[in-house]
Structure 1
Amino acid sequence: MHKPSLLRNGEKDSSEILEKEDPEHQDRLAKVVMFHSKGYSQSEIARKLNVNQSTVSRDLTEIRNKARSSLDLYVKEEIPNEFQIYVSGLNQIIKNLWEIVENDQNPKIGVKDRAYILSLLMQCYSKRIEMLVGGPDTKMNAKKHMDTIHHRERFADTF
């Protein structure tokens, strides 16, 4: 699976065009991320890197913006793709399980085996519903919409 990089160069997003940066700048950004992830304050990072605190502040803002842009790209492109692959695979499994259950010609598949396969089918259907309700697009997330509806109903009942 493709993982976005916080410090990715040259990617063009409709919301932001990331300019090419020199290797020294990229190195400093990587060090700022490292020290920041270890809990160092901006002034401590500035002292370690021998730069102004305002430079560290700008670097952290740049890193956050790049991370947000990279995450947006990942959510828009990769997650729906992975979701589709998962659903397609699950549908194929369901199809294969039904073929096994309905194959009366195979004497090796007994009643217990068929019952077990049917329980696997139930698990597959449950997983498919779970994925569809909590799928990748939060705007289409049925559970979220149901919670919103219930919240509005409770709010309306108070008046």
Structure 2
Amino acid sequence: MAFLCLYDQLIRPSYVRDLAFIRLRDSMRCYHRTRVKSTQLINRMKTTFDGENLTCSFKFTKEWTLDILDYYFTHDITLKQAFAAQIAQKEKQGKKVVILQKQLAALGEYHNFKLSERSSFILTIRLGEYLYNDTLAATCLQETEKWLMEN
């Protein structure tokens, strides 16, 4: 009877994957979803900057950029002051500041730009979400690599 049902396509064959494949697939889906969400958050931050007429291109994958933006969003200061504070902090720690000084010089007309309170709040929230998603993606990837090495 089952053969006849299969032949007449009343039932279809199914293939249930093993647990290892399901775990790997779900882990990679999690990583992909968090990376997509991170990209969306970066685009939203850039849109907020554009709404404030700040067209500087920040590299959100760089740690120094995230440090400066966090400081800039949470303090009522200009971009130039945020860069200067970060440069002073890095020099105090004994780290090189050549890249920060070059980026400060590249700001051009935007170095005296100050965000509105509303935009600072929105950007602070989005930066926090971005960092959370970035950490989650890295954790997914690390756990997947660890699991693959074990199995």
TM-score interval (norm. to shorter)? 0.3 to 0.5
Higher RCO (Cα < 8 Å, 6 or more apart): 2
- TM-score norm. by structure 1 comes to 0.33
User: If you compute each CA radius of gyration, which structure gives the higher value, 1 or 2?
Assistant: 1
- TM-score norm. by structure 2 comes to 0.34
